[in-house]
Amino acid sequence: MSLSLSTIRPARGSARNKKRIGRGNASGHGSYSTRGQKGQRSRSGGRNKLRRLGFKQILAATPKNRGFKSTNPKNQVVNLKDINENFSTGAKISPASLFKAGLIGTAHKKIKILGQGRLNLKNLEFEGVKASDSVKLQIEKMDGKMI
């Protein structure tokens, strides 16, 4: 006998016959068709509703994440002490230069300079960044510009 798709058989004992439900009393699974007599599980669609109830309890038990995540992106923060360490007098400070210095994660989000530390560098030019009021005063004192 040659081997072809039509002659392949499963190994002996590996495949079980499917339980045929609702095919007469002689089959052993007729009449109530393995569902029992009354109750929600004997009705059509009854198990699904039970599943939904169980899922509701699972949902109630899961911890909620409080609040919501704002779609308005937060400013990336750079302090004056970091600018003193990474730039020299007369430098132009822009999102690209801050990114190159490794002070921010990306040059495409908002950047704000905050006043932790003192500004020691003169003639700095700030372009494309926001600054707090105290920082603006220090920049003006050191002959710098906000563009």
Domain count, the chain: 1
- Asked if residue 37 is part of any domain, the answer here is no
CATH of the domain at 113: 3.100.10.10
Strand partners, 93: 126
Strand partners, 131: 113
Report the candidate in 127, 111, 123, 113 with the shortest Cα–Cα distance to residue 81. Answer: 113
The rounded distance, in Å, linking the Cα atoms of 83 and 138 is 13
Ranges in the chain, pLDDT < 50: none
Read off the pLDDT of residues 48-68 as tens digits, 9 standing for 90 and up: 766 777 788 888 888 877 777
Read off the pLDDT of residues 24-44 as tens digits, 9 standing for 90 and up: 999 889 899 888 899 888 888
Name the strands in the sheet holding 111-114, side by side, starting at the edge strand that comes first in the sequence.
76-79, 111-114, 130-131
Residue 116 belongs to what domain range? 76-146
- Asked if residue 95 is part of any domain, the answer here is yes
